[in-house]
Each structure stands twice: as C-alpha cells, then as structure tokens.
C-alpha cells in the first residue's frame, strides 16, 4: 500500500487537526449532511468543540461489527480485518481510517477496503452490486482508496427493514485528483495557512450551530442591523411561515388521498417517482414521510 500506520489519531487530537481524512472530505466538497465547510473549518482550527456522540453515531458503532460479519460471510475467499489510521507515504497531510481492510486469503497485502454504513432512508442507494451510493459516502471511499493506494472499495450497508446490501466502488484517478486538490486548498485556508480564509456562511444547519458556539455569551446590548440583512431576515421568516402553511396543507391533502396505502407515487410514462410513504412508530398512528429527494414535478410532467 501507499500508506503507513498512524498513531494517536483520535478526533480533536493534534494529528487529527492538521490532516485531511475521509470523514472530512464530504464537508470540504459541500456534500455532507452532518458537517459544513464552515463548521469543519472552525473545528479543525480548534475554535469550536468536536460533536458529541448522537443516536445515529451510536447506532453505527453498535452495528458495525454485525454488518462487517455479514459482508465477510458473503465472501468466504476474502479475509476481512478491522482497519486503523493510515497516512499517505508522500502526502503526510492525507489520512484515512477504513472500517475494514480486505485481502484474498493466502495473500499478505490488502487489495480493497470495506466501509460499513447503516441508514434509515434508502432513497439514495441504488441496486445491490452497483456503485450507486450517496455522493458523500462515495467521496469518502474514493479518498480512502487514494490514501492507501488501493483500487476497490466495498460498501456494506444495513438499510431500512433490516435489509443488507453490498456495493462496489472502483478507484477513479481523475475523481481522486479533484478531491485531493479541494482538500489541499481547504487545509491551506485554515488559520496560519498560506491562503487563510474563513469559508462563507451558508444554509447548512451545522453552520448555524458553529456560529452559536463561536458566540456563547449574551451581552445586554443592541446590535444594529444594516438594511440588506434586516430585509433578508424579515422576508425569509415571513416566506417560511407561508411555505410551512402550504406544506402542511399539501401533506394533509396527500394523506387524505392515500387513505390506507403505504406509498404515494407519480407515474410519468415508464417512470415511477416515489413521493412519500406512510410509517408508524411502535404501532402508533401512521404519519406521512416525504421522499428525501423529490424532483420538480412540473419539469417531469
């Protein structure tokens, strides 16, 4: 492999702060649902705290071994062993911690990585055996392959309704080069770097959380707001109220139309578009859950 083991690599450690890892690249590319460029920049700069373990993180931690065992059972010719932190031989700023390393039995050198995922939504996951996985996970595994110098990544996932599924991602040199360039530019933008520059604010929820952490105190003073910001804030809040009322009505109309049906679909020729489904928690009253990715129906019809 093109990488060597790296010690003392816990999140928040000095080693973690100065290196780009697979878990960070999705945020750098603006793809991560859990981290923004703004929040990652401030986290790596040591200006805000590392995130606390949440239920989703705990779920993934508890289930990782079980999903990994399932993957190993599907490939009796492969040896699947837990991974560890590695750093690229020539780029000390590039690191990765794969969940598992995979090698053919009888061979000494790993030829693949295996990442373990669990998810409550399967909208962004394609058919088993393909490379159709959420883009933020693809960026992660491409980074791992680029760091370790391997050509294949398996992604084993536990989907809703306890369905196991496996995907295979092949290394793409052009894609890896793009991600690497973006990652290097991001590191250079950190405080003290040759191109120090705080990322722009954006609509990501973690950007708002980071701004909150940057200002933990309450000073009993007025902050005078310029006209453009005052206008944007008032208009956005009023638009949100109107949009929420419209959405609430649309959800009620959809639920009434569906009746006892589980899934709402829009059919356009040979295309079936999932709009929503009805779910129930612990035998409770069913509720409507919109699909995570909805197209512009007016453009489809």
Q: Across the chain, how many H-helices and E-strands are there?
A: 9, 11
Average per-residue pLDDT in the chain? 93
Q: Tell me whether residue 196 is in a domain.
A: yes
- Kindly report the CATH number assigned to the domain that includes residue 31: 3.90.320.10
What pLDDT, on a 0 to 100 scale, did the predictor assign at position 293?
81
What pLDDT, on a 0 to 100 scale, did the predictor assign at position 296?
84
pLDDT tops 70 at residue 301: no
3-state SS string for 223-284: CCCCHHHHHHHHHHHHHHHHHHHHHHHHHHHHHHHHCCCCEEEEEECCEEEEEEEEECCCCC
248 and 196 in a common domain: no
Q: Tell me whether residue 239 is in a domain.
A: yes
187 and 78 in a common domain: yes
What is the band of 154 on the pLDDT scale with cuts at 50, 70, 90? very high
Q: Tell me whether residue 136 is in a domain.
A: yes
Q: Which stretch, 95-99, 120-124, 292-296, has highest mean pLDDT?
A: 95-99
What pLDDT, on a 0 to 100 scale, did the predictor assign at position 171?
97
pLDDT tops 90 at residue 11: no
What pLDDT, on a 0 to 100 scale, did the predictor assign at position 295?
83
pLDDT tops 70 at residue 165: yes
CA dist., res. 142 & res. 124, Å (int): 17
Higher per-residue confidence, 220 vs 123: 220
CA dist., res. 228 & res. 226, Å (int): 6
What pLDDT, on a 0 to 100 scale, did the predictor assign at position 236?
97
250 and 168 in a common domain: no
Q: Tell me whether residue 199 is in a domain.
A: yes
Q: Tell me whether residue 164 is in a domain.
A: yes
- Find the domain containing 248 and state its range: 227-300
Give the mean pLDDT of 66-72: 95
Residues 170 and 131 sit within 8 Å (Cβ to Cβ) = yes
Q: Total domain count for the chain?
A: 2
What pLDDT, on a 0 to 100 scale, did the predictor assign at position 79?
95
Query: Residue 191: CB partners within 8 Å, gap ≥ 6?
Result: 45
Q: Tell me whether residue 165 is in a domain.
A: yes
What pLDDT, on a 0 to 100 scale, did the predictor assign at position 114?
97
240 and 203 in a common domain: no
Residues 77-121 have pLDDT tens digits of: 999 999 999 999 999 999 999 999 999 988 888 999 999 999 988
Q: Tell me whether residue 221 is in a domain.
A: no
Give the mean pLDDT of 20-41: 96
pTM of the prediction?
0.85
Share of the chain above pLDDT 70, in %: 99
Q: Tell me whether residue 216 is in a domain.
A: no
Of 176, 209, 242, the residue at which a domain comes to its end is 209
């Amino acid at each position: 492999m093109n990488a060597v083991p790296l010690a003392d690599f816990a999140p928040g450690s000095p080693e973690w702060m100065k290196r780009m890892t697979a878990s960070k690249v999705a945020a750098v590319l603006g793809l991560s649902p859990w981290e923004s460029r703004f929040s990652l920049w401030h986290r790596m700069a040591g200006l805000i705290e590392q995130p606390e373990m949440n239920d989703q993180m705990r779920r993934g931690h508890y289930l990782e071994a079980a999903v990994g065992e399932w993957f190993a059972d599907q490939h009796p010719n492969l040896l699947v062993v837990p991974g560890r932190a590695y750093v690229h031989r020539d780029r000390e700023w590039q690191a990765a911690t794969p969940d598992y390393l995979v090698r053919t039995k009888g061979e000494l050198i790993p030829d693949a990585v295996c990442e373990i995922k669990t998810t409550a939504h399967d909208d962004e996951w394609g058919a088993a055996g393909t490379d159709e996985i959420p883009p933020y996970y693809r960026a992660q595994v491409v980074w791992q392959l680029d760091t370790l110098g391997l050509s294949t990544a398996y992604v084993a996932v536990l989907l809703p309704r306890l369905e196991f599924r496996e995907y295979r991602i092949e290394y793409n040199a052009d894609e890896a080069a793009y991600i690497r360039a973006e990652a290097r530019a991001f590191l250079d933008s950190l405080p003290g770097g040759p191109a120090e520059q705080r990322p722009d604010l954006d609509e990501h929820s973690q950007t708002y959380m980071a701004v909150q952490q940057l200002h933990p105190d309450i000073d009993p003073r007025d902050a005078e707001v310029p006209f453009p910001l005052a206008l944007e804030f008032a208009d956005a809040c009023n638009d949100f109220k109107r949009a929420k009322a419209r959405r609430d009505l649309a959800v009620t109309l959809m639920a009434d139309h569906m009746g006892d049906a589980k899934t709402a679909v829009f059919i356009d020729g040979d295309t079936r578009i999932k709009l929503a489904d009805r779910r129930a928690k612990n035998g409770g009253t069913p509720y409507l859950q919109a699909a995570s990715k909805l197209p512009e129906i007016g453009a489809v019809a």
